[in-house]
Structures are given as structure tokens and as C-alpha cells.
Structure 1
């Protein structure tokens, strides 16, 4: 005889428990909770921060351009100045690139609707 596993909290054998898959649109509230939620807990329409995305993208592209230019200067492909100009250009490129390389990724994933990404992750640039 094989012992049956029971749900300890309810004392129900596991063979009698019915499981169902949750819907992908479930936000964790039942219907009566949704109707009684205060306004600060209800989802508001998301405003897309165009200024912040444009600023982050411009800084990202500027950093990439400066890093590529610095690498070409260091390798001697664009001119023969060598490290005299290559290291300052690389330094400025890295300083511009590093703080903003993840913002285009956040914007793309928020646009696609990936879980865990939102336009609220951007700083507020509206004055």
C-alpha cells in the first residue's frame, strides 16, 4: 500500500486537489478588491518620458562614437597621434557611455512590455 500525500493545512489528499493555471492578466486582486482600491493603488496610464529617452540615447551614442574613435586613434588607423589623443578620447567616451548604456535597454523592454521593466524607471526630466 502506497501512502498518499496530504495537504497538511487542510487535511486533503493531494490526489483530490484540483489545480488551475492563473491567467496572465492577473494583477493579484480579486474583483471586489479592485472596486474598493484607493486611487493611489490603481494603475495610472503610463506617460512615455520622451525627453529622458532622447537624452539617454544621445549620451549612449556619443559614448559609443568616442570609444570607437579612441580605439581607432590608439591603433593608428585615423591618424598617427597615438596615445596623446587616444587616451583622453577613450576616457571621455567611457565616462559618457557607462552611466547611460542601460537606459536604451530599459526603454526597449518597457516598449515590448517585458515584466519588470517600466517607463517609470526613467528619471523625470519635466520641469
Structure 2
């Protein structure tokens, strides 16, 4: 005689568990597993991208004005570092804002999953 198995998680003896055969028409799939969940919008990442975009824009404008000589001519040596830092800050901000905009508008091939999320 075989010892009866117990369902340890629920504490129910196996003799009281009722099983039923799955229907053959669904082939083991249910509709819920194919339902796409709504996209999770990474608000923190979009806010950071907007801040990078704005800071980069300001640095680029100030650097361009320094290079053009609109400010004191003794400050021209500060123009190139401002332009380089402005470009390095502007580009990622612009890139991620563009992805967020296209994903929000529903363009094909763009999704909020393409933006790194800081909540992980």
C-alpha cells in the first residue's frame, strides 16, 4: 500500500483534491496569457531626459554666444568646453525625449520599454 500524499502548501490530503481534465479545444492556452499589459511609463527617466535636454540647450546657447563674441572677449577660452559639455548633455536628453514622444503618440517601433527605468 502506498502512503497518501499531502499537499504541503495547503495542508489538504490528496484524496480531497479534485482534478478535472482540460478541454481539448484551447490546446492548453488561455486568452489572458496573450493579453498585452498597458505600458509602464518611466516618469523619472523622462524627467531626467527633459532636465538633460534643457541644461544641454542652455550650455550650447551660452557656448555659442561666447564663441560669437557676444560676451566679454576675454571669455572665449571658455566657449569650447561649454560647447562640448553642452553637446554631451543635450544628445542623450534629446534622444530619450524623442523616444518618449513617439511612444506616447503610438508610432510603430517605439515603446516606453526603450527608455531605461530607474525604478528597477
Q: TM-score normalized by structure 2?
A: 0.68
Instruction: Report how many residues are paired.
Output: 94
**Which structure has the higher relative contact order (CA within 8 Å, separation 6+)?**
2
Quick check: 1:36 aligned with 2:30? yes
RMSD: 2.2
User: Partner of 2:72 in structure 1?
Assistant: 79
Q: Tell me, in whole angstroms, the C-alpha distance in 2 between the residues paired with 1:83 and 1:99.
A: 26
Gaps of 5+ in 1: 1-31
Q: Note if contact 1:73-1:81 (Cα within 8 Å) is conserved in structure 2.
A: no
Counting only pairs closer than 5 Å after superposition, residues 87-98 of structure 1 correspond to structure 2 as 87-98=80-91
Q: TM-score normalized by structure 1?
A: 0.65
User: Partner of 2:62 in structure 1?
Assistant: 69
Q: Note if contact 1:75-1:82 (Cα within 8 Å) is conserved in structure 2.
A: no
Q: Note if contact 1:49-1:119 (Cα within 8 Å) is conserved in structure 2.
A: yes
Larger Rg: 2
- Of 105, 110, 120, the match for 1:117: 110
SS class of match (1:115): coil
Q: Tell me, in whole angstroms, the C-alpha distance in 1 between the residues paired with 2:50 and 2:88.
A: 15
Q: Tell me, in whole angstroms, the C-alpha distance in 2 between the residues paired with 1:64 and 1:81.
A: 23
Quick check: 1:57 aligned with 2:50? yes
Gaps of 5+ in 2: 1-25
